[in-house]
Amino acid sequence: MARSTGFAVRTIRFYCDEGILESQRSAGGHRMFDADSATERLRLVRRLRALGIGLSSIIDVLREERSMTEVIAAESARLDIEFRSVAWRRASLRAIETVAPAQRAERLALLAAAQDGGAVHDCLVRFWRRILAPIPRHEIDRWVGWNVPEPPADPSIDEVVAYAELAAIVADPDMNNVVRQQYWRSQPELIRDDHGLYVEVGDVLTDVVPLVSEGVRPHAGSELDRFVNAHAHARGERDSPRFREQLLIDATDSDHRVHRYWALTARFFGTRVSVGRAHDWVYNALAHPTDVADAQAQHHRSLPSIRER
């Protein structure tokens, strides 16, 4: 059997002991094999091993506990993870290698704290789950799917640095309070229906997304009114100038970390408009009514008169 297959005798013995090969004992105590089936079995083992399939998985195939398709798919998925890990490390090393010497220590600390793209993504997901609690998990996961970028499979230097910076921002101890204040506004303890507010604000931001995409300046209108009404209703109040002022108390929308976070995510989203950018549009419409009024007046002045038309 060793001569016909090219396997070492000790390897064949090992495969017998592991149950990969079936054999019988001769009267003299030698292992006896069915030549055709044993040879074909060893060929299959060799071919699967050549593809890097582990011995335990090969045994599962031979025992018909798993199909070859399942085993190959699992190995392919494992290699995808391994490739992403290696690609991330390569980009990180190049990012440190190419930075100016004076900035090398800072960048090294940044990237050392974000050793793996998958781990960073998990960190971002946990951050937003804390922010949006107690919203049901399945709804948060949909929100995360749209607003949290996946780690690039083969990141560039700029991408690996940007993704690592996202992790550094959410690791800031103050960031949790800053973003919760931005999302839930002032006096969140007065909110009687967190889920209802989440849904209503989400509907508003969905309608704001095309305005942001088209470059429409923040302005008073139905979007802002619905945003204010959602917060007022959730607190048992009504829209009023006083309530609008309350929504701006201790506002954190202009915090540099918030702006930096959404600017970094935009590098990965391309043309997609995140909730952060839509929320910023509504905030500017609420916080700068004078600018909005001036913009509207300028727009009306630019329209031709009835006589001109």
Q: Residue 300: its pLDDT value, please?
A: 52
Integer Cα distance of 190 and 193 in angstroms: 9
Contact between 16 and 23 under an 8 Å Cβ cutoff? The reply is yes
Number of Cβ atoms within 10 Å of the Cβ of 125: 15
pLDDT along the chain (309 residues), means of 10: 88 87 85 88 90 90 90 92 93 96 96 92 96 93 95 95 97 95 91 95 96 95 96 95 94 96 95 95 90 52 50
Q: Residue 279: its pLDDT value, please?
A: 96
Contact between 188 and 116 under an 8 Å Cβ cutoff? The reply is no
Integer Cα distance of 98 and 93 in angstroms: 9
Q: Residue 290: its pLDDT value, please?
A: 62
Integer Cα distance of 252 and 208 in angstroms: 20
Q: Residue 308: its pLDDT value, please?
A: 47
Q: Residue 20: its pLDDT value, please?
A: 84
Integer Cα distance of 289 and 142 in angstroms: 33
- The answer to whether the Cα torsion of 225, 228, 231, 233 is positive or negative is negative
- What is the residue whose two structure tokens read 């582990």? 54
Contact between 110 and 169 under an 8 Å Cβ cutoff? The reply is no
Main-chain phi, psi angles of 5, to 5 degrees: -110, -20
The dihedral over CA atoms of 82, 86, 89, 95, expressed in degrees to the nearest 10, equals -140
Integer Cα distance of 265 and 285 in angstroms: 23
* Burial (0-12, 13-18, 19+ Cβ within 10 Å), 253: buried
